[in-house]
Amino acid sequence: MEYQAPQDLLANKTILVTGAGSGIGKEIALTYAKHGARVILLGRTVAKLEAVYDEIEALGAPQPAIIPMDLKGATEQHYQDMAETIAGQFGHLDGLVHNAGALGVLGPFHQIGQDMWDEVMQVNVKSQFLMTKHLLPVLKEATAASIIFTSSSVGRQGRAYWGVYAISKFATEGMMQTLASELDGSHVRANCINPGATHTPMRSKAYPAEDADLLKRPADIMPTYLYLMGADSLAVNGQSLNAQ
Ligand code: NDP
User: Does 17 sit in the ligand 1 pocket, CB within 6 Å?
Assistant: no
Task: Report the distance separating Cα 44 and Cα 157, nearest Å.
Answer: 30
Percent of the chain with pLDDT over 90: 99
User: Does 45 sit in the ligand 1 pocket, CB within 6 Å?
Assistant: yes
pLDDT category at 211 given cuts 50, 70, 90 is: very high
As a whole number, the mean pLDDT across the chain is: 97
| Residue numbers annotated as active site | 165
How many angstroms is it from 167 CA to the middle of ligand 1?
16
For range 96-106, the mean pLDDT: 98
How many angstroms is it from 37 CA to the middle of ligand 1?
21
Q: In what order do the strands lie in the sheet with 240-242?
A: 65-68, 38-43, 14-18, 95-98, 145-150, 188-194, 240-242
Dihedral angle of Cα 70, 72, 74, 79, to the nearest 10 degrees: 80
The answer to whether 5 touches 83, Cβ cutoff 8 Å, is no
Has residue 64 been placed in a domain? yes
pLDDT score for 2? 85
Has residue 85 been placed in a domain? yes
pLDDT score for 70? 98
User: Does 189 sit in the ligand 1 pocket, CB within 6 Å?
Assistant: no
User: Does 98 sit in the ligand 1 pocket, CB within 6 Å?
Assistant: no
Has residue 226 been placed in a domain? yes
Task: Report the distance separating Cα 166 and Cα 182, nearest Å.
Answer: 25
Q: Which residues pair with 146 in a beta bridge?
A: 95, 189
Regarding beta strands 240-242 and 38-43, do their DSSP bridges make them parallel or antiparallel, or are they unpaired? Answer: unpaired
pLDDT score for 25? 98
- The residues, any chain, with a CB within 8 Å of residue 47's CB and separated by 6 or more, are none
pLDDT digits (tens, 9 = 90+) for 145-201: 999 999 999 999 999 999 999 999 999 999 999 999 999 999 999 999 999 999 999
CATH code of 229's domain:
3.40.50.720
Task: Report the distance separating Cα 181 and Cα 185, nearest Å.
Answer: 9
Has residue 165 been placed in a domain? yes
How many angstroms is it from 132 CA to the middle of ligand 1?
18
Within its chain, how far is the Cα of 128 from the centroid?
A: 9
For range 212-226, the mean pLDDT: 97
How many angstroms is it from 60 CA to the middle of ligand 1?
26
Smallest Cα–Cα separation from 39: which of 48, 57, 124?
A: 57
As a whole number of Å, the end-to-end CA separation of the chain is 6
Question: What ipTM score was computed for the predicted complex, to two decimals?
Answer: 0.99
The dihedral through the CA atoms of 161, 190, 22, 30 has a sign that is positive
- The residues, any chain, with a CB within 8 Å of residue 148's CB and separated by 6 or more, are 95, 96, 97, 98, 99, 190, 191, 192, 193, 225, 228, 229
CA distances for 175 relative to 123, 133, 148, angstroms: 14, 11, 11
Has residue 7 been placed in a domain? no
Task: Report the distance separating Cα 243 and Cα 221, nearest Å.
Answer: 5
Count up the domains in the chain and report the number: 1
pLDDT category at 84 given cuts 50, 70, 90 is: very high
pLDDT digits (tens, 9 = 90+) for 23-55: 999 999 999 999 999 999 999 999 999 999 999
Task: Report the distance separating Cα 161 and Cα 112, nearest Å.
Answer: 10
pLDDT score for 1? 79
User: Does 101 sit in the ligand 1 pocket, CB within 6 Å?
Assistant: yes
Q: Which of 44, 66, 78, 176 to mutate to test the pocket of ligand 1 (most atoms within 8 A of CB)?
A: 44
Domain of residue 101 covers: 14-242
Q: Which of 22, 105, 199 to mutate to test the pocket of ligand 1 (most atoms within 8 A of CB)?
A: 22
For range 211-220, the mean pLDDT: 96
